[in-house]
Amino acid sequence: MSENSKSVDKSETKSEKSFASNPPFSLEISPEKLEVPPEGLLEVTIKNPTKQPQYIICYFDSFYFLVDFKNADWHQEGDTPSAAMAYHTLKPGETYTLTIGYDNGKYPEKVRKCSTCNDQKRVVRDDTKKQRLDPKNNIYYNLERPEGVLKIRQRATRMDCPVLLSRDMDIYLSEETEKYRMLKEVYLKIRLDQKRRRRWGETLETRGCATYRYFKLEKDDESEFFRSYEEFKSDNINPETFWGKVLVTRCTPKNLEEFDKVSDDEIMKLKMERQAPYFLRGHIINVDDLQKVVEECWGDECQCGMPRLRTREEMEKYLEAEAKLEKKSVQNVVKSEKPKTIEESKEKSKKSPNKLPPPEKTTPSSKFDNVESANKSSENMKQEEAKIEEKKAPTTPQVAPIPVEKKPVVQEKKNKKKKKGNPCCSVS
């Protein structure tokens, strides 16, 4: 093999490695510039020129326009009704078409699984919204341009590369007519109101193209209640975010320009005054039909897990019943700890004191253990007897006895008594 061929092989292997680590965006998108006409729709085509199937994800949001992702798996995403997300797989050589324009219709709802009813009796609220969204009501749109953006993500499948390749395409208006000049003024006012709403405690965060609302809770006990609300059963919604959305939706003033004339402390005072009627001893109650706002904020979640608020009268009865149950349980605990009658306590005092239980007999593990235990028990018995004897001994000191000296016995009688001599033997 020649040196030239070797160098070519090395360059090919290097290119393959670089492709695997950072593959190029291989989808063909037309037109290259997304210019939407003031009337009608713009048709966008995505083609897969490769020999491998390509999985794509599309994000869209716009203040002026709506999108139609056609036969892809798609739905509305986030708190802006104009934002949408789509999933689709393109076969080799296949093309996919979507449209962008003012005249597109309502988005399909996102159907999530319900763990409570196992999707067998899933109930979704009756949606009576208009087919076409009025941009004036898109008050949470958070992108810097009213025309919006289309983002396309491609998942490369060659050599098992997990990298998502991206192409972000800004959307343009081909001609600004009087209708769009008016919409632009509305857009600018909405952006100003979002800054004012931030002083009320509501912020916006955009991920991808989906924008979400977040709310600042003023008290720790409120957040603790929101997390432990007994009737909140959804696993897809954060309780603190949900109840914050309900209260902000109901209590935020419509004329936000008034905030420009007051301080932050005055805004906070107004916020607490507006929220106070909807609380009773730390519980949210159904005042002025707040349940309708709950249904609106619950969105496309299954109705089986949606909280049902009590009225003020129902909540007072509920809390009264809970207080009685708690009081009764405390009384039962006190009764169980005290003797029932005086006679019963006297009978207990007359009874003989409880005898100590006999020592437990433990089986020795071996004959040596048996001997050792016997020796130990005998030693313990001796020690106990010695202690008892010490206790019996008198505590008063005693005088030691004086020893008596023993006198030597004098044998005077023996010396005085001499044997008488035999007269027959005596010598005269």
Domains and CATH numbers, the chain: 27-111+127-176 (2.60.40), 217-331 (no CATH)
* pLDDT tens by residue, 387-404: 655 555 555 445 445 555
Of all residues in the chain, what percent carry a pLDDT higher than 90? 36
- Residue bearing the bigger pLDDT, 2 or 215: 215
Terminal Cα distance for the chain, rounded: 172
pLDDT over threshold 70, residue 135 = yes
- Residue 380: which pLDDT band, with cuts at 50, 70 and 90? low
| Residue 306 pLDDT | 84
* Cα–Cα distance list, 262 to 215, 247, 265, 327 (Å): 21, 21, 8, 47
- Residue 349: which pLDDT band, with cuts at 50, 70 and 90? low
Mean pLDDT of 371-400: 55
Q: What is the C-alpha to C-alpha distance for residues 232 and 104, in angstroms, rounded to an integer?
A: 36
| Residue 387 pLDDT | 61
In this structure, of 37-41, 163-167, 217-221, 380-384, the range with the lowest mean pLDDT score is: 217-221
Phi first, then psi, for residue 29 (nearest 5°) are -120, 130
Structure tokens at 87: 């999933």
Q: How big, in percent rounded to 5, are the helix, strand and coil portions of the chain?
A: 40, 20, 45
* pLDDT tens by residue, 81-110: 899 999 999 999 999 999 999 988 888 877
Q: Angle CA(121)–CA(125)–CA(131) in degrees, nearest 5?
A: 130
pLDDT over threshold 60, residue 238 = yes
- Residue bearing the bigger pLDDT, 238 or 228: 238
Contact yes or no for 246/297 (Cβ under 8 A): yes
For residue 317, the surrounding DSSP H or E stretch is helix 312-337
Q: What is the C-alpha to C-alpha distance for residues 217 and 226, in angstroms, rounded to an integer?
A: 10
What is the Cβ-side half-sphere exposure of residue 189, based on CA atoms within 13 angstroms?
13
* pLDDT tens by residue, 194-209: 999 999 999 999 988 8
- Residue 40: which pLDDT band, with cuts at 50, 70 and 90? very high
> How many CB atoms neighbour CB 58 within 10 A?
22
Among 56-65, 110-119, 150-159, 248-257, the range of highest mean pLDDT:
56-65
Closest CA relative to residue 77, chosen from 11, 156, 140, 122: 140
In this structure, of 20-24, 48-52, 96-100, the range with the lowest mean pLDDT score is: 20-24
- Quote the pTM value: 0.66
- Burial track 281-297 (b if 16+ CB lie within 10 A, e otherwise): eeebbbeeebbebbeeb
| Residue 368 pLDDT | 42
Among 224-233, 270-279, 330-339, 395-404, the range of highest mean pLDDT:
270-279
- Residue bearing the bigger pLDDT, 165 or 23: 165
> If DSSP codes are grouped into helix, strand and coil, which group holds residue 180?
helix
Question: Exposed/middle/buried for 280, CB within 10 Å: 0-12, 13-18, 19+?
Answer: middle
DSSP-assigned beta bridge partners for residue 88: 56
| Residue 155 pLDDT | 84
Mean pLDDT of 291-299: 88
CA dihedral for 298, 301, 303, 308, sign (positive or negative): negative
Mean pLDDT of 117-133: 52
- Residue bearing the bigger pLDDT, 417 or 96: 96
DSSP character for 211?
A: E
Name 10's Cβ contacts closer than 8 Å, sequence gap at least 6. Answer: none
Of all residues in the chain, what percent carry a pLDDT higher than 70? 63
Structure tokens at 421: 């001599």
Structure tokens at 303: 């109705």
- Residue 357: which pLDDT band, with cuts at 50, 70 and 90? low
